[in-house]
Structure 1
Amino acid sequence: MSIKTILAVLNSPEAADSVIETGVALANKHDAHLIAVYAEAPEQVFIYAPMEIPDPAAIMALQEAAEQRATTIQAKFLAITEREGVSHEWRKFRGAGGYSSAGVVDSARSTDLVLCAQFDEKTSSAQRADIEVLIFECGRPVIMVPYIQTTPKPIERVLIAWNGSREAARAVFDAMPFLLGAKEVEIFSVDARNDMNQSADFAGSELGVTLARHGIKVNANNVESGGKPVGAVIENRASDFSADLLVMGAYTHSRIRERIFGGATKTLLGSMTTLTLMSR
């Protein structure tokens, strides 16, 4: 697999710079075309009671604010891509679906890689839900860019969060261009199962052999969570390993279960400190 088309989801002026810079760095490295997409669902408007007539002034103000955000983000994107000489294009969608709209999902499905900004306290619940739907539905690997990252750096150390699931397997092979270019790769398992089909002591070993056949330098590490949230254990290991990229399956449990009980995806979306590639 090679990376030739990248889609950058730019959902706020504050987070745009880090996502654009990451997209430009990846586009330069892989000689890829970079597409920026901005999509904002209409916000709720005030109404006049009892006739329930939308306030025209409120509607106008919201539309003007949305247009200003789009203009600001577009200017950032064009300034950086033209400065770096990267092949690029700009797309803007306006509709009830936001980033979960058919236009955005269709755009994502026709690319090799999608980039999104990590959630932070300023991310609205509507934007969070839209991006979660995009991750869940687009069928492409999605790299979440942490908001603490200001300057892209080479991806030399990759940590694979491995639980043997379908989603984790897809993430690993979606990440192959990065694994092949890495200097060191670790397969990291937390609370690996121990049954008639697998010994916990050998969790990730077969995957390691497969990756080694590609010439990838890889080792496996299996730990017990000790009652800590799995997402927190993975996050701590990514920090200790000085990972430049974390690779994991997204929503290996249902999104409803993760929202109610928590899960590694939910934990890492909110507190990640390194680039994180997720596949579903």
Structure 2
Amino acid sequence: MTINCKGNLIDLSTPKVMGILNLTPDSFFDGGKYKNISDVLFQVETMLHEGATFIDVGAYSSKPNASFVSETEELNRIIPIIQGITDKFPDILLSVDTFRSQVAQQSILAGAALVNDISAGKLDTNMLSMVGKLKVPYVMMHMRGTPQTMQTLTEYELLLKDIIFYFSERLSEAKKHQISDIIIDPGFGFAKTREQNFKLLKHLEHFKMLEKTLLIGVSRKSMIYNTLQVTAKDALNGTTVLNTIALQKGANILRVHDVKEAMECIHLTLEMT
């Protein structure tokens, strides 16, 4: 299983890590932490040194009830950072976390290599056609509604069946736009209750029927810290446990805040195969 990033084939038969770099002041864990380019570059260098294959850059918080950010503000936040990162690390594989087609386009032109869309094209009807034209890998996530409304949309007829059907429909739409490298993300914490998140993880292997790269993002999320009655700051151990389970059930990419620990999960899990 491979994806083509900037002309390089990335082999995902061995799981990879995607490090998270939030450029927002209100992200649930690291909001406001990277306030200038020197802080950003130091964090990127650290994650690359620890083993990250991808770095996911986002300028619009997608936590529940997140504040709305205009397209202009999102572009102003993210484009200079992408340019600064790629100037220092020309070969870096940056993923741009956005649901807006124009932000995706400008980010790819600035040096990003992938598009990571929490809405799978549902919040911008031009997204799939744009990604098809850009010819870059595309992460499509399962979500209902928007970050502002998603936690009111947690009623499912059959959770797994509904989400797999959602991906089948979105994959069909993506195919119409000649998007060839597609990664699916079940969307832990997006329009799902804590109990639904754990059910999703328990049956994660079912998503392999879609025959696509599987990305998992549970890093320091509320399903962990609410269950353990701790804070996101203290949820690293819980994240490691769930990442290990995800790997055992077929995850190809771990999207995380803590790259070193995720790489250790991969190394130890591979020893069991």
Structure showing greater radius of gyration is 1
TM normalised by structure 2 equals 0.28
TM normalised by structure 1 equals 0.27
Structure that is richer in strand per residue: 1
